[in-house]
Amino acid sequence: MNRRTVITGIGHFTPPRVVTNFDLEKVMDTSDEWIRQRSGIVERHHVDPGVGSAELAYEAAVRAISDAGIEPGDIDFIIAATLSPDHYFPGNGVIVQARLGLETVGALDVRNQCSGFIYALSVGDQYIRAGAYKKILLVASEVQSTNLDYSDDGRDMSVLFGDGGGAVILEPNESGDGRGILSTHLFSDGRFVSDLWMEKPSCKDKPTFRESFIAEKKFFAHMDGKNVFKNACQRMPEAVMAGLEHNGLSVDDIDFLIPHQANDRISQMVARGLKIPVEKVIRNIERYGNTTSASIPIALDEAVKDGRIRRGHLIALTAFGSGYTWASAFIRW
């Protein structure tokens, strides 16, 4: 079969409110110097009260739809990735669907945290190549700022994360010109669930919501930063190598690598591990922090719109995060 999945439109949206490291210095025991040195982050965006990740997804979707030159009514399937949905259930997919005025189009929710965009891309790619759908909207968005611990206890996490959304339109390419998704590679290791998680609420507990969980701060995300860091630096290069091998390509064939923006030191270590010049690595964490599932589509959109990524380029995406889950995708742009 000669059909490939091509990204025909892309967009992103971040809420207008910018929170700098200096702003965070005012509320907790941290410093601009520490945050920059340890993560490369200078500022991030936070939503105003009442704005959820489905709204950020909607805004990104509108931009991607316009970029693809299609109408919302042309979309025949939606995939929504997030770890910070508007509601415990239902997921964001149906909320985006209703916001776009799409009556009965199917909406699938993906929960794979920082790897969510690549996992969702992989699902969309299978549907398009199988001929099941012709215009899939994939949104990946997060609102982290509403549930971070801004006391000194939570400073290792709260300085890292930001809010934002990205979206792509996936369509079949049957022209035989080779453009599109070459392959996706998905991995996980559930032994490390508690290395990066939000433990509560849990449906294992009766009652699910307890005062004691609030007192113990179980409703905040917790991370074993060092372990996550170490595994991220190892797993992302492995995932990229798996994709190169699968496609019979070498590291030199990659025009741009877009790693999930978790920490600029991780992105640089991944580049070093793969022996890819750092100029070929798209890095924007400085301005957004870690936007989890949204980080790759935001970085991709910026690099496409500013002309760095051009038609014919080979793009490698890779992500690592909570689960652990990790992944890579290869796209001939």
* Binding test (CB under 6 A) with ligand UT7, winner from 83, 102, 128, 228: 228
Residue with the shortest CB distance to ligand UT7: 225
Choose the catalytic residue: 114, 173, 185, 231.
Answer: 114
Binding region for ligand UT7 (CB under 6 A) out of 32-40, 56-64, 84-92, 143-151: 32-40
Which residue's structure tokens are 């971040």? 14
Beta bridge mates, 144:
none
Residues 6+ apart with CB under 8 A from 255: 280, 309, 313, 314, 315
Beta strands 256-259 and 314-321 are parallel
- What angle, 0 to 180 degrees and rounded to 10, lies between the N-to-C axes of helices 225-247 and 264-274? 40
Q: Does 325 bind ligand UT7 (CB under 6 A)?
A: no
260 a catalytic residue: yes
**326, 195 Cβ separation under 8 angstroms:** no
CB-based contacts of 138, cutoff 8 Å, min separation 6: 78, 79, 80, 81, 117, 120, 121, 124, 167, 168, 169, 170
Q: Is position 262 an interface residue for ligand UT7 (rule: CB under 6 A)?
A: yes
Backbone angles phi, psi at 273, to 5 degrees: -60, -35
Other beta carbons within 10 Å of 95: 21
Q: Is 231 a catalytic residue?
A: no
Residue 112 or 263: which CB sits closer to ligand UT7?
Answer: 263
Count the residues of the shown chain that bind ligand UT7, applying the rule CB under 6 A. Answer: 19
Binding of ligand UT7 at residue 119 (CB under 6 A)? no
Residue 321 found at the interface with ligand UT7 (CB under 6 A): yes
Spell out, one character per residue from 34 to 73, where the chain touches ligand UT7: x when CB under 6 A holds, - when not. Answer: x---xx----------------------------------
Q: Is 196 in the site for ligand UT7 (CB under 6 A)?
A: yes
- Is 114 annotated in the active site? yes
Q: Is 111 in the site for ligand UT7 (CB under 6 A)?
A: no
Binding footprint of ligand UT7 on the chain (CB under 6 A):
30, 34, 38-39, 114, 155-156, 159, 196, 225-226, 228-229, 232, 262-263, 266, 290, 321
